[in-house]
């Protein structure tokens, strides 16, 4: 059964490191081996794995997405957040991570990031473990 993690984002666009929250759920579930799926059920947010050691990486990703998909660029979506939908589609809504010996198998610098594109908001992330 999927586990739900609630979080609040603080700005319109942000990348929030959720690695420790996901690891906490893996540990609580007692998962020793298997796969961990992280899914974001929102159309203006996503999830990705990338470098977490240097905050400039997230800043660069956000800046490049803004350049590629600027807000208010004459989109037809009337709600005013079309850029958020496009950015979420580019990033994607799920990642999968191997679990080994009760730990997420991530590279030395890798972290799991919740990507907010239409905040600030209260959001939900689902974690599902397959043993």
The Cβ-side half-sphere exposure at 77, using a 13 Å CA radius, reads 12
pTM higher than 0.85 for the full model?
Answer: yes
Q: Environment class of residue 33 by beta-carbon count within 10 Å: exposed (0-12), middle (13-18) or buried (19+)?
A: exposed
d(CA 82, CA 73) in angstroms, rounded, equals 9
pLDDT in tens, 99-124: 999 999 999 999 999 999 999 999 99
Q: Where are the beta strands (DSSP E) in 87-121?
A: 94-100, 103-104, 110-116
CATH tag, 3-130: 2.60.120.460
**Domain residue spans in the chain?**
3-130
pLDDT averaged over every residue in the chain = 97
pLDDT in tens, 45-102: 999 999 999 999 999 999 999 999 999 899 999 899 999 999 999 999 999 999 999 9
Other beta carbons within 10 Å of 111: 22
Helix axes 82-91, 55-68, angle to 10 degrees: 120
DSSP-derived pairing of the beta strands 110-116 and 45-51 = antiparallel
């Amino acid at each position: 059964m999927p586990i739900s993690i609630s979080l609040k984002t603080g700005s319109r666009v942000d990348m929030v490191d959720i690695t420790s929250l996901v690891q906490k759920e893996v540990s609580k579930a007692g998962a020793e081996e298997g796969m961990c799926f992280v899914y974001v059920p929102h159309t203006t947010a996503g999830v990705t794995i990338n470098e977490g050691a240097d905050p400039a990486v997230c800043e660069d990703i956000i800046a490049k997405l803004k350049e590629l998909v600027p807000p208010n660029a004459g989109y037809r979506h009337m709600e005013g957040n079309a850029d958020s939908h496009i950015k979420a589609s580019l990033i994607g809504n799920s990642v999968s991570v191997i679990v080994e010996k009760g730990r997420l198998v991530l590279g030395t610098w890798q972290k799991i990031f919740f990507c907010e594109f239409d905040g600030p908001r209260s959001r939900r992330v689902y974690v599902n473990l397959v043993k």
